[in-house]
Protein backbone atom coordinates (compact mmCIF):
# COMPACT_ATOMS: atom_id res chain seq x y z
CA UNK A 1 0.00 0.00 0.00
CA UNK A 2 1.27 3.45 -0.92
CA UNK A 3 -0.05 6.75 0.38
CA UNK A 4 -1.26 9.36 -2.10
CA UNK A 5 0.71 12.19 -0.54
CA UNK A 6 -1.23 15.30 -1.47
CA UNK A 7 0.64 17.51 0.98
CA UNK A 8 4.00 16.95 -0.70
CA UNK A 9 2.66 17.22 -4.27
CA UNK A 10 0.69 20.34 -3.40
CA UNK A 11 3.86 22.09 -2.33
CA UNK A 12 5.62 21.11 -5.55
CA UNK A 13 2.75 22.42 -7.70
CA UNK A 14 2.53 25.70 -5.83
CA UNK A 15 6.30 26.23 -6.08
CA UNK A 16 6.21 25.42 -9.80
CA UNK A 17 4.12 28.51 -10.65
CA UNK A 18 6.03 31.04 -8.55
CA UNK A 19 8.10 32.47 -11.42
CA UNK A 20 5.01 32.74 -13.61
CA UNK A 21 3.13 34.48 -10.80
CA UNK A 22 5.94 37.00 -10.37
CA UNK A 23 5.52 37.97 -14.05
CA UNK A 24 1.71 37.95 -14.17
CA UNK A 25 1.16 39.52 -10.73
CA UNK A 26 -2.27 37.92 -10.20
CA UNK A 27 -4.45 38.61 -7.17
CA UNK A 28 -6.82 36.11 -5.56
CA UNK A 29 -9.68 37.50 -3.51
CA UNK A 30 -11.75 35.51 -1.03
CA UNK A 31 -15.20 36.52 0.19
CA UNK A 32 -15.73 35.13 3.68
CA UNK A 33 -19.18 35.46 5.25
CA UNK A 34 -19.27 35.08 9.02
CA UNK A 35 -16.80 33.16 11.16
CA UNK A 36 -17.46 29.50 10.37
CA UNK A 37 -14.46 27.72 12.00
CA UNK A 38 -13.79 25.31 9.12
CA UNK A 39 -14.13 28.09 6.55
CA UNK A 40 -11.71 30.27 8.45
CA UNK A 41 -9.18 27.42 8.53
CA UNK A 42 -9.57 26.82 4.77
CA UNK A 43 -9.15 30.51 4.02
CA UNK A 44 -6.00 30.64 6.15
CA UNK A 45 -4.51 27.79 4.09
CA UNK A 46 -5.37 29.59 0.85
CA UNK A 47 -3.70 32.76 2.08
CA UNK A 48 -0.53 30.81 2.95
CA UNK A 49 -0.53 29.18 -0.49
CA UNK A 50 -0.84 32.57 -2.19
CA UNK A 51 2.11 33.89 -0.20
CA UNK A 52 4.17 30.83 -1.13
CA UNK A 53 3.30 31.23 -4.82
CA UNK A 54 3.88 35.01 -4.90
CA UNK A 55 0.21 35.64 -5.66
CA UNK A 56 -1.51 38.73 -4.28
CA UNK A 57 -4.21 38.04 -1.74
CA UNK A 58 -7.26 40.01 -0.66
CA UNK A 59 -9.89 39.02 1.88
CA UNK A 60 -13.41 40.45 2.01
CA UNK A 61 -14.96 39.75 5.42
CA UNK A 62 -18.72 40.13 5.64
CA UNK A 63 -21.20 39.66 8.52
CA UNK A 64 -23.30 36.50 8.86
CA UNK A 65 -26.53 38.48 8.58
CA UNK A 66 -25.65 40.07 5.25
CA UNK A 67 -28.56 40.21 2.79
CA UNK A 68 -28.30 38.27 -0.45
CA UNK A 69 -28.41 41.36 -2.66
CA UNK A 70 -25.64 42.94 -0.58
CA UNK A 71 -23.48 39.83 -1.00
CA UNK A 72 -24.07 39.81 -4.75
CA UNK A 73 -23.10 43.50 -4.83
CA UNK A 74 -19.77 42.54 -3.24
CA UNK A 75 -19.32 39.86 -5.90
CA UNK A 76 -20.01 42.44 -8.60
CA UNK A 77 -17.34 44.74 -7.16
CA UNK A 78 -14.76 41.98 -7.62
CA UNK A 79 -16.09 41.22 -11.12
CA UNK A 80 -15.31 44.84 -12.06
CA UNK A 81 -12.00 45.14 -10.20
CA UNK A 82 -9.17 44.84 -12.74
CA UNK A 83 -6.62 44.17 -10.00
CA UNK A 84 -8.45 40.99 -8.96
CA UNK A 85 -7.80 38.24 -11.52
CA UNK A 86 -9.68 35.52 -9.64
CA UNK A 87 -11.89 35.15 -6.60
CA UNK A 88 -13.99 32.71 -4.64
CA UNK A 89 -16.96 32.91 -2.32
CA UNK A 90 -16.07 30.60 0.55
CA UNK A 91 -18.74 27.98 1.21
CA UNK A 92 -20.84 27.16 3.17
CA UNK A 93 -22.92 30.33 3.26
CA UNK A 94 -25.65 31.13 5.81
CA UNK A 95 -29.01 29.43 5.25
CA UNK A 96 -30.55 32.81 4.36
CA UNK A 97 -28.42 32.96 1.20
CA UNK A 98 -29.43 31.12 -1.99
CA UNK A 99 -26.05 29.78 -3.06
CA UNK A 100 -26.79 29.10 -6.79
CA UNK A 101 -27.76 32.74 -7.29
CA UNK A 102 -24.50 33.93 -5.75
CA UNK A 103 -22.42 31.55 -7.86
CA UNK A 104 -24.29 32.61 -10.99
CA UNK A 105 -23.26 36.21 -10.33
CA UNK A 106 -19.52 35.39 -10.52
CA UNK A 107 -17.76 36.39 -13.74
CA UNK A 108 -16.80 33.04 -15.36
CA UNK A 109 -13.32 34.23 -16.26
CA UNK A 110 -12.60 35.00 -12.59
CA UNK A 111 -14.31 31.86 -11.24
CA UNK A 112 -11.22 30.07 -9.91
CA UNK A 113 -13.34 27.70 -7.78
CA UNK A 114 -14.82 26.41 -11.05
CA UNK A 115 -18.41 26.41 -9.75
CA UNK A 116 -19.99 28.75 -12.31
CA UNK A 117 -22.32 27.03 -14.81
CA UNK A 118 -20.30 28.19 -17.82
CA UNK A 119 -17.10 26.55 -16.56
CA UNK A 120 -18.91 23.40 -15.45
CA UNK A 121 -20.63 23.17 -18.84
CA UNK A 122 -17.35 23.37 -20.75
CA UNK A 123 -16.15 20.27 -18.90
CA UNK A 124 -18.80 18.20 -20.66
CA UNK A 125 -17.10 18.75 -24.03
CA UNK A 126 -13.75 17.08 -23.26
CA UNK A 127 -10.73 17.31 -20.99
CA UNK A 128 -9.31 19.97 -23.33
CA UNK A 129 -12.06 22.35 -22.19
CA UNK A 130 -11.44 21.92 -18.44
CA UNK A 131 -10.11 25.48 -18.33
CA UNK A 132 -11.22 26.34 -14.78
CA UNK A 133 -12.42 23.04 -13.33
CA UNK A 134 -13.63 22.74 -9.73
CA UNK A 135 -10.58 22.72 -7.50
CA UNK A 136 -11.15 19.47 -5.58
CA UNK A 137 -11.87 17.28 -8.64
CA UNK A 138 -8.96 18.89 -10.45
CA UNK A 139 -6.70 18.15 -7.48
CA UNK A 140 -7.82 14.52 -7.48
CA UNK A 141 -6.93 14.11 -11.16
CA UNK A 142 -3.52 15.68 -10.62
CA UNK A 143 -2.90 13.37 -7.66
CA UNK A 144 -3.73 10.25 -9.71
CA UNK A 145 -1.61 11.49 -12.63
CA UNK A 146 1.37 12.16 -10.37
CA UNK A 147 1.38 8.55 -9.19
CA UNK A 148 0.94 7.26 -12.76
CA UNK A 149 -2.36 5.61 -11.88
CA UNK A 150 -4.13 4.74 -15.15
CA UNK A 151 -7.70 5.95 -15.55
CA UNK A 152 -8.61 4.92 -19.09
CA UNK A 153 -10.70 1.75 -19.16
CA UNK A 154 -10.87 1.49 -15.36
CA UNK A 155 -13.98 1.01 -13.26
CA UNK A 156 -14.31 4.26 -11.30
CA UNK A 157 -16.92 4.42 -8.56
CA UNK A 158 -17.74 7.82 -7.09
CA UNK A 159 -19.67 7.88 -3.82
CA UNK A 160 -21.31 11.30 -3.53
CA UNK A 161 -23.02 13.44 -6.16
CA UNK A 162 -22.56 17.03 -5.01
CA UNK A 163 -22.25 19.81 -7.57
CA UNK A 164 -18.78 20.67 -6.28
CA UNK A 165 -17.13 17.22 -6.10
CA UNK A 166 -19.17 14.15 -7.00
CA UNK A 167 -20.72 15.27 -10.28
CA UNK A 168 -17.67 17.08 -11.72
CA UNK A 169 -15.20 14.32 -10.82
CA UNK A 170 -17.53 11.82 -12.50
CA UNK A 171 -17.43 13.93 -15.67
CA UNK A 172 -13.65 14.34 -15.49
CA UNK A 173 -13.23 10.58 -15.16
CA UNK A 174 -15.51 10.06 -18.18
CA UNK A 175 -13.39 12.57 -20.10
CA UNK A 176 -10.45 10.26 -19.45
CA UNK A 177 -12.34 7.21 -20.75
CA UNK A 178 -13.10 5.51 -17.46
CA UNK A 179 -16.32 3.57 -16.89
CA UNK A 180 -18.00 5.58 -14.16
CA UNK A 181 -20.65 4.70 -11.58
CA UNK A 182 -21.90 7.55 -9.40
CA UNK A 183 -23.49 6.53 -6.11
CA UNK A 184 -25.35 8.62 -3.53
CA UNK A 185 -27.64 8.42 -0.51
CA UNK A 186 -30.41 6.75 -2.51
CA UNK A 187 -28.18 4.08 -4.08
CA UNK A 188 -29.39 0.58 -3.30
CA UNK A 189 -26.76 -2.00 -2.30
CA UNK A 190 -23.79 0.37 -2.19
CA UNK A 191 -21.40 -2.50 -1.52
CA UNK A 192 -22.17 -4.14 -4.88
CA UNK A 193 -20.82 -0.99 -6.55
CA UNK A 194 -17.84 -0.23 -4.33
CA UNK A 195 -16.56 -3.82 -4.61
CA UNK A 196 -16.26 -3.40 -8.39
CA UNK A 197 -14.15 -0.28 -8.20
CA UNK A 198 -10.63 -0.12 -9.54
CA UNK A 199 -10.63 3.50 -8.37
CA UNK A 200 -12.96 4.49 -5.53
CA UNK A 201 -13.56 8.20 -4.85
CA UNK A 202 -15.58 8.96 -1.71
CA UNK A 203 -17.00 12.44 -1.05
CA UNK A 204 -19.96 12.19 1.30
CA UNK A 205 -19.02 13.66 4.68
CA UNK A 206 -19.78 10.57 6.76
CA UNK A 207 -16.96 9.24 8.88
CA UNK A 208 -16.03 5.59 8.29
CA UNK A 209 -18.68 5.02 5.60
CA UNK A 210 -16.40 2.74 3.55
CA UNK A 211 -14.90 -0.27 5.33
CA UNK A 212 -12.48 -2.98 4.25
CA UNK A 213 -15.19 -5.50 3.40
CA UNK A 214 -16.62 -3.05 0.83
CA UNK A 215 -13.58 -2.95 -1.48
CA UNK A 216 -11.55 -5.39 -3.53
CA UNK A 217 -7.84 -6.13 -3.32
CA UNK A 218 -5.66 -3.57 -5.10
CA UNK A 219 -8.22 -0.78 -5.20
CA UNK A 220 -7.07 2.84 -5.45
CA UNK A 221 -8.94 4.88 -2.83
CA UNK A 222 -9.34 8.66 -2.86
CA UNK A 223 -10.92 9.91 0.37
CA UNK A 224 -12.36 13.41 0.02
CA UNK A 225 -14.26 13.44 3.30
CA UNK A 226 -13.24 15.64 6.21
CA UNK A 227 -14.93 14.73 9.49
CA UNK A 228 -14.14 14.55 13.18
CA UNK A 229 -14.46 11.28 15.07
CA UNK A 230 -15.68 10.88 18.64
CA UNK A 231 -12.24 11.86 19.91
CA UNK A 232 -12.27 15.08 17.88
CA UNK A 233 -9.61 13.78 15.51
CA UNK A 234 -9.82 14.55 11.77
CA UNK A 235 -10.82 11.55 9.69
CA UNK A 236 -12.21 10.79 6.25
CA UNK A 237 -15.19 8.94 4.83
CA UNK A 238 -13.05 5.81 4.59
CA UNK A 239 -12.10 3.60 7.53
CA UNK A 240 -8.39 3.92 6.88
CA UNK A 241 -7.23 1.00 9.05
CA UNK A 242 -9.42 -1.65 7.42
CA UNK A 243 -9.32 -0.33 3.85
CA UNK A 244 -5.58 0.38 3.66
CA UNK A 245 -4.88 -3.32 4.14
CA UNK A 246 -6.49 -4.06 0.77
CA UNK A 247 -5.71 -0.88 -1.18
CA UNK A 248 -2.77 -0.43 -3.54
CA UNK A 249 -2.98 3.36 -3.04
CA UNK A 250 -4.98 5.41 -0.56
CA UNK A 251 -5.15 9.11 0.27
CA UNK A 252 -4.82 9.99 3.96
CA UNK A 253 -6.98 12.46 5.88
CA UNK A 254 -5.53 14.94 6.55
CA UNK A 255 -2.72 15.32 4.00
CA UNK A 256 -4.38 13.86 0.92
CA UNK A 257 -7.02 15.64 -1.14
CA UNK A 258 -7.27 18.76 1.04
CA UNK A 259 -3.86 20.22 0.10
CA UNK A 260 -4.49 19.29 -3.54
CA UNK A 261 -7.66 21.39 -3.53
CA UNK A 262 -5.60 24.40 -2.48
CA UNK A 263 -2.93 23.67 -5.12
CA UNK A 264 -5.57 23.37 -7.86
CA UNK A 265 -7.05 26.70 -6.76
CA UNK A 266 -3.61 28.30 -7.13
CA UNK A 267 -3.18 26.78 -10.60
CA UNK A 268 -6.63 28.04 -11.60
CA UNK A 269 -5.68 31.51 -10.37
CA UNK A 270 -2.62 31.51 -12.59
CA UNK A 271 -4.62 30.21 -15.57
CA UNK A 272 -7.32 32.83 -15.08
CA UNK A 273 -4.69 35.58 -14.96
CA UNK A 274 -3.08 34.35 -18.21
CA UNK A 275 -6.44 34.45 -19.98
CA UNK A 276 -6.95 38.07 -18.91
CA UNK A 277 -3.60 39.38 -20.16
Look at residue 12 and tell me whether its pLDDT is greater than 90. yes
Residue 229 — pLDDT band, cuts 50, 70, 90? confident
Looking at residue 261, its pLDDT comes to 97
- Closest by alpha carbon to 43, among 104, 81, 101, 87? 87
Q: Are the CB atoms for 56 and 87 separated by under 8 Å?
A: no
Cα 103 from Cα 155, distance rounded (Å): 32
Domain count, the chain: 2
Residues 109 and 140 in one domain: no
Residues 103 and 178 in one domain: no
Cα 133 from Cα 175, distance rounded (Å): 13
Q: What is the mean pLDDT of the chain?
A: 96
Which CATH number fits the domain that encloses residue 138? 3.40.50.720
Mean pLDDT for the stretch of residues 224-235: 88
268's enclosing H/E stretch is helix 257-275
Residues 217 and 141 in one domain: yes
Q: Which of 5, 90, 198, 237 is catalytic?
A: 90
131 is catalytic: no
Residues 99 and 163 in one domain: no
Residue 98 — pLDDT band, cuts 50, 70, 90? very high
188 is catalytic: no
Q: Which of 5, 46, 223, 239 is catalytic?
A: 46
155, part of any domain: yes
Look at residue 89 and tell me whether its pLDDT is greater than 90. yes
Look at residue 68 and tell me whether its pLDDT is greater than 90. yes
Residue 57 — pLDDT band, cuts 50, 70, 90? very high
Looking at residue 231, its pLDDT comes to 82
Q: Which of 5, 109, 111, 113 is catalytic?
A: 113
Domain span including residue 99: 23-113
Q: What is the pTM of this model?
A: 0.95
276 is catalytic: no
Which CATH number fits the domain that encloses residue 108? 3.40.50.10860
Amino acid sequence: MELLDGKSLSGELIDSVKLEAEKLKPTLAVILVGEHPASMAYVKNKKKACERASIGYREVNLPTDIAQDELIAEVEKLNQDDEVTGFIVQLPLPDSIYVPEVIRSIDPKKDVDGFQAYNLGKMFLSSEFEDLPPATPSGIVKLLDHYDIPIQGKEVVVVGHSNHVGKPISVMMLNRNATVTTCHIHTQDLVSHTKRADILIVAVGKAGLITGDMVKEGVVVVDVGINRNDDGKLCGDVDFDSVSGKASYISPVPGGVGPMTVAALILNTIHAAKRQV
